[in-house]
Structure 1
Amino acid sequence: MTYKNLLPLTMALLMFPQLAQTLYSPALGDISRAFDVAPERAGQTLSVYFLAFALGVVVWGRLSDRLGRRPVMLMGLAIYVGASALALTVTTFDALLLAQACAAFGAAVGSVVTQTVLRDRFHGADLAQVFSVMGIALAASPAIGLFSGASLVEFFGYRGVLCTLLLLAAVLWGWCWWALPETRPASLPTAALGQTLGLMLKDAGVWRSVGLVAAFNIALFSYYSVGPFVFAQQGRSTAEFGYSGVLLALGSGLGAWLNKALLKRGLSGERLVVVAAAVAVVGSLLVLALQHSWLLVWPMLLVVLAFGMAIPNVLGAALVDYRDRLGTAAALFGLLYYLVIGGGLALVTWSQDLGWSLLVCGLAALWLATSRLLRS
């Protein structure tokens, strides 16, 4: 399969986990009402999602080295379809959390295995460019997710979101069955999980990448987990929150486009991550100042722009030293950063303070981004 043929499918697969998260965000208020739970408890669905996602990442990444990329992708998507069907039948909030955990476990295959497929096919500067293109596609995910999720909740409640996600996963399964190639190298040895974990835990570069991915993602998803309740406190509707996602997608898309353009001009990915972190700090300070007003959406644009600039560079450079065990290394890398994201979002939903959450993430990203440059 050529690059042009592979690109649409891998874009869709990478977008799916983020779509699943952002489609679900506008439904949190309806879930809170339907199951008679507090907003903080309803927000736990996102933190549970990330923690289960972390487990899925390590399982699917490991299996992709053993069984191949294609069969593992089909298995993960099938589990998502089954879990979404289960979520439509539950009657208690705890059962919904369990169904969401199972769905997240399955959805993780779209992240880790797709990234592994891309790393199988592309290397070096080409890989950074591919991740930049993917970043532009991912920038559309929040807009599609928030706007579509808000519209579905308005007419059908949270069940409309679940039905849509089930349908999307089923369509992706069929597309993969028809078009996804097997990219696992025929001579790839099965790396020992414990040995790979030991190498990565001692690798300061891996921990730096984990921290950067987590910081930018927690900042982004803080808005999705706390935002519905911030809008509700201001007397604004779920639909208005959904519309804000369209505006934020413009910022994320601009960040990804700027990143791609600046890479072509010869700027290094490391320096672009530093710039992105500084932009995130500025945006966070402005959100903190405006977080009791709907105007917070405008400085939030800077936060998502920083996400669009930084993430392609961090992901593209993270595992360059683990090409002989990409599936296993990607699994463990994903496990580490999704555990941090899940824990961070649990703290965010507990605090319900968007501005300070963003500022902590921005400062952490700036420290991590500058520390390597200062040492070099």
Structure 2
Amino acid sequence: MNSRNLLVLAIALLMFPQIAQTLYSPALADIGQAFAVGPQRAAQTLSVFFLAFAFGVVVWGRLCDRIGRRPTMLIGLALYTGASILALSVGDFTALLAAQALAAFGAAVGSVVTQTLLRDRFKGAELAQVFSGMGIALAASPAIGLFAGASLVHAFGYRGVVGCLLLLASLLWLWCLQTLPETRPGNVTVPALFETLWRMLQDLDIWRSTLLVALFNIALFSYYSLGPFVFQRLGVSAQWFGYSGVILALGSGLGAWLNKRLLGRGYSGPRLVRLAAVSALLGGMGVWLMQHSVLLVLAMLLVVLAFGMAIPNILGSALVNYGDRLGTAGALFGLLYYLLIGGGLLLVGWGQALGETLMLCGALALLLAGIRQRHTEQ
């Protein structure tokens, strides 16, 4: 499989978890009504997704070092398909959360194994460019998820969302069965899990990268988690919340495009992450000031722009010192930041304060990005 075809498949596999996350957002209000639960409990759907996703990342990351990238991907996608079938048949909210957790566990394969595939094929500056270029394509994921989710919920309720994800997972499984190559190097060893974890826990660069990834994701997904209820309080239909994803995708795409351009002009990754943190902080302030108007979506553009600019740079450089154990290190790295994202979104769901959440994430990201840039320049 040539590099271009691999990148097309990799984009689809990386988009799938993002679409699975955002497709559910417009369905949260319908889930609350269908199972007679309030906004705080309905919002747990996304939190459970991230927490289960975190443990899935570890399992699939380890398996891709042990049995290979290709078989691991096929097993994970098959598990997601089965969990989606289960979600269509449940009759109470707890069972729905359990099905969602199992689906998220399976969806994690699309993140960690795909990133490992790319790290197998590309190195250094070329890898950073690949992540940046893919970021432009991935900017469409939230728009697809929110727009499609709103339309499906309007026509079929939350079950329409689950059915759509079942179809997508099945198609991806068939695509991978036909074309996905095995990229695991022949000399790969499977390092001890806890030895690698201990090494990473002592690595300050890993902690900075982990916290930065978590903060930018919490900022982004706090909108997807709280947005349906914000629009509901403003008297605007959930369908318009779905349409807002199209606007936000433009901001994310602009951030990824701007990142690629600035990298080409010699800007360093840490400098661009710091610039992204400033954008996130300003966006959070704007959302807080306009929280009583749908115009807050315009301020959210700065937040999604920051996400599109920051994440490729953080992911592209995070594991440069773990080349002999990319699958395991990638799994543990993902475990750390997805646990933080899931825990953060639980707090966001309880707090129901979008503007304050965004400002806090932006301020902390700016502090960490400044420390990271100074460390890199030393």
Write the deviation string for residues 270-312 of structure 1: whole angstroms up to 9, x where unpaired.
Answer: 1000000011111111111111210100010000000000000
1:90 alignment counterpart: 90
Write the deviation string for residues 99-151 of structure 1: whole angstroms up to 9, x where unpaired.
Answer: 00000000000000000000000000000000011111111000000000000
Write the deviation string for residues 53-108 of structure 1: whole angstroms up to 9, x where unpaired.
Answer: 00000000011000100000000000000000000000000000000000000000
Post-superposition offset of 1:372: 2.3
Structure 2: 5+ residue stretches without partners? none
Alignment of 1:172-183 (within 5 A): 172-183=172-183
Alignment of 1:214-253 (within 5 A): 214-253=214-253
Structure 1: 5+ residue stretches without partners? none
Alignment of 1:12-161 (within 5 A): 12-161=12-161
1:189 alignment counterpart: 189
Post-superposition offset of 1:374: 2.9
> Is the aligned partner of 1:351 residue 2:351?
yes
Write the deviation string for residues 322-346 of structure 1: whole angstroms up to 9, x where unpaired.
Answer: 0100000000000000000000000
Q: Which amino acid aligns with 1:285?
A: M
Post-superposition offset of 1:5: 1.1
Write the deviation string for residues 149-208 of structure 1: whole angstroms up to 9, x where unpaired.
Answer: 000000000000000000000000000001110000011111111110011000000000
Give the SS at the match of 1:64: helix
Instruction: Return the alpha-carbon distance in structure 1 between the equivalents of residues 327 and 353 of structure 2.
Output: 37
Give the SS at the match of 2:295: helix
1:257 alignment counterpart: 257
> Is the aligned partner of 1:293 residue 2:302?
no
Q: Which amino acid aligns with 2:45?
A: T
Q: Which amino acid aligns with 2:374?
A: L
2:204 alignment counterpart: 204
Give the SS at the match of 1:182: coil
TM-score, normalized by length of structure 1? 0.99
1:362 alignment counterpart: 362
Instruction: Return the alpha-carbon distance in structure 2 between the equivalents of residues 92 and 320 of structure 1.
Output: 45
Instruction: Report the identity percentage.
Output: 70
Consecutive aligned runs of 4 or more in structure 1 exceeding 4 Å deviation: none
Instruction: Return the alpha-carbon distance in structure 2 between the equivalents of residues 206 and 105 of structure 1.
Output: 23
Q: Which amino acid aligns with 2:253?
A: G
Give the SS at the match of 1:13: helix
Q: Which amino acid aligns with 2:194?
A: G
2:306 alignment counterpart: 306
2:315 alignment counterpart: 315
Write the deviation string for residues 232-253 of structure 1: whole angstroms up to 9, x where unpaired.
Answer: 0011111100000000000000
Q: Which amino acid aligns with 2:278?
A: A
Instruction: Return the alpha-carbon distance in structure 2 between the equivalents of residues 332 and 7 of structure 1.
Output: 24
Q: Which amino acid aligns with 1:23?
A: L
Instruction: Return the alpha-carbon distance in structure 1 between the equivalents of residues 195 and 29 of structure 2.
Output: 44
Instruction: Return the alpha-carbon distance in structure 1 between the equivalents of residues 366 and 177 of structure 2.
Output: 42
Instruction: Return the alpha-carbon distance in structure 2 between the equivalents of residues 225 and 122 of structure 1.
Output: 34
1:339 alignment counterpart: 339
2:324 alignment counterpart: 324
Q: Which amino acid aligns with 1:136?
A: I
Give the SS at the match of 1:88: helix
Instruction: Return the alpha-carbon distance in structure 1 between the equivalents of residues 36 and 197 of structure 2.
Output: 42
Post-superposition offset of 1:3: 1.2
Equivalent residue pairs, number: 376
Instruction: Return the alpha-carbon distance in structure 1 between the equivalents of residues 247 and 42 of structure 2.
Output: 25
